[in-house]
Chains A and B, each alone.
Chain A
């Protein structure tokens, strides 16, 4: 019943495909942009929560820098 009405909306079957495409391009866009991101900026940003602390000797400041 409701399907018949939906079929009368022109091109409704394209909706799920469009939505998938929107997401896919969005995802690829972010991935490329992240890949191109400046590494030193990233390291700077991930340390923001510790900027207030007087003691800057983070236990793993180095170990986690590899994975940014």
Chain B
């Protein structure tokens, strides 16, 4: 048979590798800064762009989409053509993909510190960037599926299935979660409100972990681990079972992020059941990875690449056992909103994603530059420093999380909260935060050692830009739907394969969404719950801009310890005008859903200027710029119009009088402050924020007054 000659483009792999290294260090350093800010709040230097709320999303986005994202593309652009014996479909598309993705990252790095955010976790980027992400993602998809169609290998290896499932699911997740109505060029409101928004967001958030941090990395594992160990995967059958059950089950488990929330019970239970079932395919993958090394464990002792991979796969196993555990309702009651979750995600990010990436880089860079690794010893040092970094990160965060939960829930002999002041529970865990920051520094030190090692490796080698190869052309595929060859038929046709994957992942989403959306039109409205006033609305957008929800939840769960501390538990009907919802996912500070009316205006004014003036030793950063900046009221009309379009019942023509109402309410608050000896000016941003905070959770109280009357 005649052999065809072609070549693999290593240039694009190199670009993505460099981007992985660059954004990896950026994302981790930002993470280290916010780790320090949690116990030294002055580290924001009273500068808005450096404040925790704004740069925490920068850290999460940089690590997930920049570091891990580029590592995925690096891994795919190397393995995909080799598995298919064909060059990538289009070099131009490869380059558009690369530069487009980097531009999106730069746009994120600029907009997030500026406070331009949708507030939805891991989906903070505003609508123009969302559109850019969609376009670049489509380019990636065309390039990948095009390559599969033009392949010279009849079978599609399991790693590629994971790539396809990743592509199709991330596309669905991104689009569904990004439905938003633009208000201005860089501001939008989520199309969904309250409970629905929360459900969509955590369906997205959970599956972003599944299909951005897990499935593509499993694909990478199925290629690079066998390559590095020089032996085929332990069980190919298991990999198929693992693949289909994993993508089927993952999509159902999102509601476990919303246990004890105002989400319907059955949806919560569904989330729990499917989370527990997820252990099976997850561990199937882990076992398959580890057993691939059967009989090669002696090499693991010597080869840093395998060491990194073994720890990565083990961390995957740990995180996927911990995840289902956390989604049991009784465990979740303790762990939710605490640092336990932070420990959990970092076992995944530092262990699974980080270490697998390092393993691949140590294997790939010498191959691309046709040389050996500069120093194995240095790689071993990196391994141990990184490993200690993970241990010293996870341990104090587990400890801190459980301490938080115990202190939040502790009642004394008289049946009152033992630690009624939330701040006490924060100060208790400061030592843990210090250890965690130290651990982060260790991990980054390891990363820098790797950087040096790889640069030295690159310097001693010479880059192979194009790697030539040859293989016979693919014979026309004649398999029909014969017994026993369904899958061979399916995998021979990448587009059908993609569609089947899509159907599989959609089933779970539909079962979750349909009932919850059926109630959309008639969610139990509470008569006294009214849309926000224009001033409150502007204040709410400041709350979003400063990402107060990074540290403060707005969801009082139905536990006695919470109703004692915060007030009545939260009802679904209270959020019907919340575009987007602001439930938060972590309590570094107390819940704010019932903050309205709890303190006088003057308290909020002083507290936001310098939290330590009202709460000694508070770890909240100061927000002095709110007292200096004038509120931008030019957007009020557009905001009212946009919200009305998506169902908030502002009366017709209200947008014309909205600013007059806003000024009136601001004057009242400023007057109250002035009476208390504070020289407040009504046009400042802080006034709007106070208006919003004082409104929070009070509608339901008005309901009671009505009933009482």
Q: Chain A: residues with CB nearer than 8 A to chain B?
A: 1-6, 9, 12-13, 15-16, 18-20, 22-23, 26-27, 30-31, 33-34, 36-38, 41-52, 58-61, 63-64, 67-68
Cβ of B519: which chain A residues have Cβ within 8 Å of it? 2, 5-6, 9
- Min Cβ gap A2→B in Å is 5
A2 touches B484 (CB 8 A): no
Residue in A closest to B483 when the chains form the complex, CB atoms:
A36
Q: Knowing A52-B82, A64-B294 touch, does A37 contact B515 (C-beta < 8 A)?
A: no
Can you report 8 residue pairs joining A to B where beta carbons are below 8 Å apart? A2-B262, A2-B519, A5-B524, A9-B519, A26-B244, A26-B245, A34-B241, A63-B231
Interface residues of B in 472-506 (CB under 8 A from A): 484, 486-488, 504
Does B203 reach chain A (CB closer than 8 Å)?
Answer: no
Given contacts A2-B264, A3-B265, A16-B266, contact A37 B234 (CB under 8 A): no
Instruction: Give B201-230 interface residues, CB cut-off 8 Å to A.
Output: 223, 226-227, 229-230
How many angstroms from the CA of A27 to the CA of B484 in the assembled complex? 17
Bound-state Cα–Cα, A14 to B248, Å: 20
Whether the Cβ atoms of B237 and A37 lie closer than 8 Å is yes
A19 engages B230 (CB within 8 Å): no
Could you tell me which residues of chain B, from 503 to 522, have a CB within 8 Å of some CB in chain A? 504, 507-508, 511, 515, 518-519, 522
Complex interface: stretch among B269-277, B648-656, B682-690:
B269-277
B678 close to chain A: CB less than 8 A = no
Q: At the interface, yes or no: B232 with Cβ under 8 Å from chain A?
A: yes
Indicate if B292 sits at the interface (CB-CB under 8 A). yes
Q: Find chain A residues with CB under 8 A from B237 CB.
A: 34, 37, 42, 68
Contact assessment for B241 and A31 in the assembled complex, using a CB-CB cutoff below 8 Å: yes
Q: How many residues of B contact A (CB 8 A)?
A: 61
Judge if B419 is at the interface, Cβ distance under 8 Å: no
Query: A2–B523 contact, CB under 8 A?
Result: yes
Tell me which residues across on chain B come within 8 A of A16, comparing CB atoms. Answer: 266, 269-270, 273
Chain B: which residue is nearest A20 at the CB level? B273
Q: In whole angstroms, how far apart are the Cα atoms of A62 and B409 in the complex?
A: 57
Q: Which A residue's beta carbon lies closest to that of B195?
A: A2
Collect the chain A residues with CB atoms within 8 Å of residue B524's CB.
1-2, 4-5
Q: Is the CB of B153 within 8 A of A33?
A: no
A26 to B484, CA, bound (A): 17
Out of B82, B235, B236, B515, name the residue touching A15 (CB < 8 Å): B515
Is B331 interfacial (CB-CB < 8 Å)?
Answer: no
With A9-B515, A63-B231 given, name 16 new contacts (CB 8 A). Answer: A1-B572, A2-B524, A6-B519, A18-B511, A26-B244, A26-B245, A26-B248, A30-B240, A48-B83, A49-B79, A49-B226, A49-B227, A50-B226, A52-B85, A63-B294, A64-B232
Residue B38 at the chain A interface, CB threshold 8 Å: no
Residue contact B153 to A5, C-beta cutoff 8 Å: no
